């Protein structure tokens, strides 16, 4: 199998900014809640402004970033402690948190049927989030679409569904300051985390597919199949900005400091300045990007449907490394922990790659394809497969720590908290594993 150094050229970027050939950048109006009054006047988005924003994608590998000495490099946000409050654990989608993983004797402790009153297929493709001992997860089909479950006992605390005008939900809920933000159907919702009472909903012109809300500094950022990236006031649900990315957005935005990164189905990875919504750079990959980007240490990591994994300098979009050592497309978002990036593809190949050298530390193959994000915590790499198994691999060498059979395929990512694990399956069941 071919192997290329992922970040062999990284050292060359530390001595100064490499100028790249400029490409055509789209105009943007993505807004942060911290914008200036002047910027607000020009950035307030309407449906008309959103529709008229250009959909033209760059044809060059990466568009040239604008000169801005005040644009600080991205800052790695802190990791959550004893919680998993968002997709990838935090706003940068790094796929880890300061939590305890299950041990070698892991087994199913409890289950919750997300569609108890129907025989219809209601898969749980949403990834759970866990805050203050409660797991929040979405589901598709059936009467109910968003669920809150006590992770210690499996007790159902509340549900939202068709009676609440909530449609099927594939996204990962984000929990911030007692509010749950999630996408369902064509809308984004905010609900009280304790009661499930809906506080507001915001409608888009497409579906909120796999793009989960990223909530930072009072603003929720989310993509839609209408090709737009939306900025929504987290308190009121009012739109404060929007931009056309060029194609359907299925990835979850990653935020690090003033920088926001998101991919689209055209194969573009785009960096925005959250302060004023300006597009900073655009990298055109070889195929569509369903995988959500992860940002750590000044590098953005992302995979494509063609099976290539890219590492890009976060401030310029310059490709500092890539590998084509995967057999099929990469839908599973990577995890970046302690200088190692963990990646899995749809054939079940899992790799650990040293970020500094680009060397492959280990490779293993699990019993089915991996379509959901990789989670790493407490020395364990957790992932679910199309064969219906949740695997726990040793982060040090890829050896098996545990394997739990769900009895059904899974596109939900495992989340580890407090020595336990929560994950959904395609037969509509949420599992608690300890």
Q: Which of 66-75, 119-128, 316-325, 356-365 has the lowest mean pLDDT?
A: 66-75
pLDDT band at 53 (very low <50, low <70, confident <90, very high): very low
Between 141-145, 152-156, 373-377, the lowest mean confidence (pLDDT) is in: 141-145
Share of the chain above pLDDT 90, in %: 75
Give the pLDDT of residue 18: 17
Whether residue 4 is contained in a domain is answered as no
Among residues of the chain, what percentage have pLDDT more than 70?
83
pLDDT per position as a tens digit, 350-401: 999 999 999 999 999 999 999 999 999 999 999 999 999 999 999 999 999 9
29: confidence class by pLDDT, cuts 50, 70, 90: very low
Looking at residue 163, its pLDDT comes to: 76
Q: How far apart are CA 31 and CA 137, in angstroms?
A: 28
- 118, pLDDT greater than 50: yes
5 domain-assigned? no
Q: Output the six-digit token pair for 83.
A: 């919680």
First vs last Cα of the chain: how many Å apart? 37
Model pLDDT, residue 229: 97
Residues in contact with 214: Cβ distance below 8 Å, sequence separation at least 6, in sequence order: 86, 87, 91, 93, 174, 220, 221, 222, 252, 253, 254, 255, 260
| CB crowding 288-303: b at 16 or more within 10 Å, else e | bbbbbbbbbbbbbbbb
| CA-based nearest residue to 131, from 165, 174, 69, 183 | 174
Looking at residues 265-289, what average pLDDT do you find? Answer: 94
At residue 14 the predicted structure's pLDDT band, cuts being 50, 70 and 90, is very low
Band of pLDDT at residue 280, cut at 50, 70 and 90: very high
Query: What CATH number has the domain bearing residue 419?
Result: 2.130.10.10
Which residues, at least 6 apart from 263, have a Cβ–Cβ distance to it below 8 Å? Answer: 249, 250, 251, 269, 270, 285, 289, 290, 291, 292, 293, 302
Average of per-residue pLDDT across 291-310: 97
| Cβ-Cβ contacts under 8 Å for 119 (sequence gap 6 or more) | none
C-alpha neighbours within 13 Å on the C-beta side of residue 210: 23
In a domain, 134, yes or no: yes
pLDDT for 164:
78
- Token pair listed for 424: 């959904």
Q: Residue 2 falls within a domain, yes or no?
A: no
Q: Residue 61: what pLDDT?
A: 53
CB atoms within 10 A of CB 340: 19
Domain residue limits at 429: 10-433
- Tokens 């995967």 belong to which residue? 326
Local confidence band at 3 (pLDDT 50, 70, 90 cut-offs): very low
189 lies in a domain? yes
Q: What is the pLDDT of residue 119?
A: 66
Non-local CB neighbours of 315 within 8 Å, separated by 6+ positions: 17, 65, 71, 73, 74, 259, 280, 298
Quick one: pLDDT at residue 104?
98
User: What is the residue-averaged pLDDT of the chain?
Assistant: 85
CA–centroid distance for 225 within its chain: 15
pLDDT at 41: 27
* Nearest-angstrom CA–CA distance, 215 and 176: 7
Q: For residue 241, give every residue at least 6 positions away whose Cβ sits within 8 Å of its Cβ, in sequence order, or none.
A: 29, 30, 31, 32, 43, 44, 45, 230, 231, 277
Give the mean model confidence (pLDDT) for residues 396-411.
97
pLDDT in tens, 192-245: 999 999 999 999 999 998 999 999 999 999 999 999 999 999 999 999 999 999
Is residue 30 within 8 Å of 276, Cβ to Cβ?
no
Domain count for the chain, please give it: 1
Confirm whether 1 is domain-assigned.
Answer: no
Burial environment of residue 33 by CB neighbours within 10 A (0 to 12, 13 to 18, 19 or more): middle
Range with the lowest mean pLDDT among 45-54, 115-124, 173-182, 315-324?
Answer: 45-54
Global confidence as pTM: 0.85
pLDDT at 393: 98
pLDDT at 137 over 60: yes
Q: Please tell me the predicted confidence (pLDDT) of residue 406.
A: 97
Burial annotation 142-154 (CB, 10 A radius, 16+ → b, else e): bebbbbbbebeeb
Beta strands in 274-308 (DSSP E): 279-284, 294-296, 299-303
Mean pLDDT, to the nearest integer, of 343-354?
97
- Bridge partners of residue 321, in order along the sequence: 311
Q: How far apart are CA 20 and CA 424, in angstroms?
A: 43
Asked whether residue 254 carries a pLDDT value surpassing 90, the answer given is yes
Output the pLDDT for position 10.
Answer: 29
- The CA–CA distances, whole Å, from 357 to 10, 164, 317, 321, 354 equal 9, 51, 19, 10, 6
Pure H helices in 19-87: 37-43, 47-52
């Amino acid at each position: 199998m071919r192997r290329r150094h992922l970040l062999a050229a990284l050292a060359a970027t530390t001595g100064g900014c490499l100028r790249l050939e400029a490409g055509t950048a789209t105009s943007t109006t993505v807004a942060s809640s911290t914008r200036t009054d002047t910027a607000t006047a020009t950035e307030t988005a309407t449906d008309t402004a959103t529709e008229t924003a250009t959909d033209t994608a760059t044809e060059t590998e990466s568009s040239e970033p604008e000169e801005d000495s005040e644009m600080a490099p991205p800052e790695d946000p802190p990791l959550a402690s004893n919680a998993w409050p968002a997709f990838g654990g935090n706003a940068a989608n790094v796929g880890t948190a300061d939590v305890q993983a299950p041990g070698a004797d892991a087994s199913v402790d409890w289950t919750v049927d997300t569609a108890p009153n129907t025989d219809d297929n209601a898969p749980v493709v949403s990834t759970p989030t866990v805050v203050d001992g409660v797991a929040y997860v979405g589901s598709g089909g059936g009467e109910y679409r968003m669920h809150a479950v006590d992770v210690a006992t499996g007790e159902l605390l509340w549900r939202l569904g068709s009676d609440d005008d909530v449609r099927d939900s594939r996204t990962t809920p984000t929990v911030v300051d007692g509010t749950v933000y999630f996408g369902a159907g064509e809308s984004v919702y905010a609900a009280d985390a304790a009661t499930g009472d809906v506080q507001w909903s915001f409608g888009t012109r497409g579906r909120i597919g796999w793009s989960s809300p990223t909530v930072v500094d009072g603003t929720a950022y989310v993509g839609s199949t209408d090709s737009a990236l939306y900025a929504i006031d987290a308190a009121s649900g009012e739109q404060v900005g929007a931009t056309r990315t060029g194609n359907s957005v299925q990835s979850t935005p990653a935020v690090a400091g003033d920088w926001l990164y998101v991919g689209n189905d055209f194969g573009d990875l785009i960096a925005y300045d959250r302060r004023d919504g300006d597009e900073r750079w655009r990298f055109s990959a070889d195929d569509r990007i369903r995988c959500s980007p992860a940002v750590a240490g000044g590098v953005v990591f992302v995979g494509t449907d063609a099976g290539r994994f890219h590492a890009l300098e976060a401030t310029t979009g310059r490709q500092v490394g890539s590998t084509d050592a995967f057999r099929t497309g990469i839908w599973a978002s990577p995890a970046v922990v302690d200088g190692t990036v963990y990646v899995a593809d749809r054939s079940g190949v899992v790799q650990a790659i040293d970020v500094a050298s680009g060397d492959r530390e280990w490779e293993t193959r699990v019993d089915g394809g991996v379509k959901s994000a990789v989670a790493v915590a407490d020395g364990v790499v957790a992932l679910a497969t199309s064969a219906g198994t949740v695997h726990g691999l040793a982060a040090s060498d890829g050896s098996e720590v545990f394997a739990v059979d769900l009895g059904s395929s899974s596109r939900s990512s495992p989340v580890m908290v407090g020595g336990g694990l929560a994950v959904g399956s395609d037969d509509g069941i949420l599992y608690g594993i300890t």
